[in-house]
Amino acid sequence: MEKITIIGGGSWGTAIAQLFANNGHEVLIYVRDEELKKNINELNLNTRYFPEIKLSERIRATDYLEEAAVYGNILVLAVPTHVNRGILKDIKDKTRKDQIIVSTAKGMEEETFLRNSQIIKEYLDNPIVVLSGPSHAEEVMRGLPTTVVAAARDKEVAQLIQKLMMSSKFRVYTNPDVIGVEIGGAIKNIIAIAAGISDGLGYGDNTKAALITRGLYEMSKIGVAMGGKMLTFAGLSGMGDLVVTCTSAYSRNRNFGVKIGKGLTLTEALKEIGQTVEGVRSTKAFYKWYQKGNFDFEIPITSQIYKVLFEEKDPLQAVDDLMLRCPKQEIEEVVTEENW
């Protein structure tokens, strides 16, 4: 049995808490809302996200961050990317060196272009594991079979998280490519917005399949340029998360895109979703990162989504511009002067 801290009582933080608790571990969730804390402790319910699903009795909640920071041997950061830095500033003098930090956010910081594990390293000198993959919290809470990847530079640390979380309903693989896993998890949200816009415009399966396929290629180009391994993007944090986020009714990024495709503004769509849409900030971050570089590849989907969201470009025109780009080879690496 381990003691586990979950910082963040949202849908994914709650699902991770339930996973650990169902495996026999004691879990403390940090939430900011006193009423939510009370409901978890007295009713075993997260009334905000899963009002009909009983939480394990091994889960309790606190609204005192310092208590949460020192409690667990495993400390899971289950807050959005833009919130991470503030949390880390508050806990940096309270954590212990032997605690393992598990990062679950899927994004890149807008101002610095840092991945979440890099942000964590600015404040904590602890082992870090990145948890990613196709894992909607709603399905995890219902006990539907789910598979994710735990990425860490230290093999033993990754394997420990794998061991602590594995069950008949939740399978965990390990991967040493932290960069690739993080980049895949961030960029899939941008492509999911594009897929949602396509749905909102009334386009069909052909269009979505093209977006997913070309989105995967764009993701891998960016990921490799940032130091990731190409094959990682064929895995759970790449193709796996991309497919589920582009197609699922649970996907906030896709649902946000649908609203944009139907004519809502950025502000209106975010208000209707009512939760963090990581892909919006990721679009801005990766677009600006690309503009500051000198790369031999293009990021057409990310570029068009940026223009739709932040420059008020008509989504229909964005689709036309994607379709009417100059002719290209499908996969440039396949074609060389020697073989074609």
The Cα-based distances of 24 to 3, 7, 217 in angstroms read: 10, 19, 41
Q: What is the DSSP string of 193-216?
A: HHHHHHHHTT--HHHHHHHHHHHH
The catalytic residues are 188
Which residues, in sequence order, are CB contacts of 276 under 8 Å at separation 6+?
A: 80, 252
Bridge partner list, 128: 101
Burial class (CB within 10 angstroms; exposed 0-12, middle 13-18, buried 19+) of 243: middle
Cα distance between residue 58 and residue 306, in whole Å? 44
Q: Are strands 146-151 and 128-132 parallel, antiparallel or unpaired?
A: antiparallel
Non-local (6+) Cβ contacts of 210 within 8 A are none
Residue 84 structure tokens? 């991470």
The sign of the CA dihedral 54, 11, 13, 37 is: negative
